[in-house]
Amino acid sequence: MPSPRTSVFATSVGTKLLIGVTGLFLFVYLIIHVAGNLVVFGGPELFNAYAHTLAGNPIIKVIEIVLFLGFAMHIFKTVTMFLANQRARPVAYAQKKYAGHPSRKTIASSTMIVSGLWLLVFLILHVKAFRFTPMTEYTPGVPDLYRLEMDNFRHPLITTFYVLSMVLVGSHLWHGVASGFQSLGLDHPRWTPLVLALGKTMAVVIAAGFIVIALWAHLAGGQS
């Protein structure tokens, strides 16, 4: 028999709470991740040194486990909530459209489950490409992650898939950040408009940052 502490997270409110917490955690991670990836513009020596330093830090292993658990919980709870909502409303609406102000219903909010599942597939392929692919060494003992990134983005189909995925990241975050704050009960007339604006701005910045890296690597870096 589940304890009251665990059973509360199986409720609708508990599910939304976990989705909000894990979603905001992943949002912060993406900010740090895109900032770190921008080091690639410093060239192979700087980028490989940066990547090697991170890989050699034992704390990174712990962070990777926490990230995996965060992703898994976010995906599981989101799918669970989506299926519960479908069961509660077996007859779909005849037409979905933007509800206008002050409703927060947008294309981004209506396609969260689709963008989320797309990004799950992307994540699996991305991890395989950058973590489980043999790499040459830049210097003895230092993997050439810079060359691996350039070689991956040399391919038009890979670059296109990556760019589309980052557009969906932006779309997911566009609605997800505000939704996360709302799920945590942090909605307030005074600061909610600022949170909405900041969340949307960061959604665009994160997506744009990754897209710029991919296009630069494809158009310029791949020729080096």
More confident residue, 205 or 192: 205
Q: Output the pLDDT for position 169.
A: 93
pLDDT tens digits along 6-29: 555 567 777 788 888 888 899 999
Mean pLDDT in residue range 86-94: 61
Q: Is residue 151 part of a domain?
A: yes
Q: Is residue 208 part of a domain?
A: yes
Residues 127 and 68: beta-carbon distance below 8 Å? no
Q: Is residue 6 part of a domain?
A: no
Mean pLDDT in residue range 210-221: 92
Q: Output the pLDDT for position 8.
A: 55
pLDDT tens digits along 166-195: 999 998 888 888 777 777 766 667 777 888
Q: Is residue 99 part of a domain?
A: no
Residues 121 and 55: beta-carbon distance below 8 Å? no
Q: Which pair of structure tokens corresponds to residue 148?
A: 């691996």
Q: Is residue 3 part of a domain?
A: no
Q: Is residue 145 part of a domain?
A: yes
Give the range of the structural domain holding residue 26, as residue numbers without chain letter.
13-91+105-223
3-state secondary structure of 143: strand
Structural domain tally of the chain?
A: 1
Q: Is residue 43 part of a domain?
A: yes
Q: Is residue 7 part of a domain?
A: no
pTM over 0.85: no
Q: Output the pLDDT for position 99.
A: 47
pLDDT tens digits along 147-162: 999 999 999 999 999 9
Q: Output the pLDDT for position 1.
A: 46
Q: Which pair of structure tokens corresponds to residue 88?
A: 């509660």
CA atoms of 145 and 12, how far apart (whole Å): 43
CA atoms of 152 and 91, how far apart (whole Å): 44
Instruction: CATH number of the domain at 214, please.
Output: 1.20.1300.10
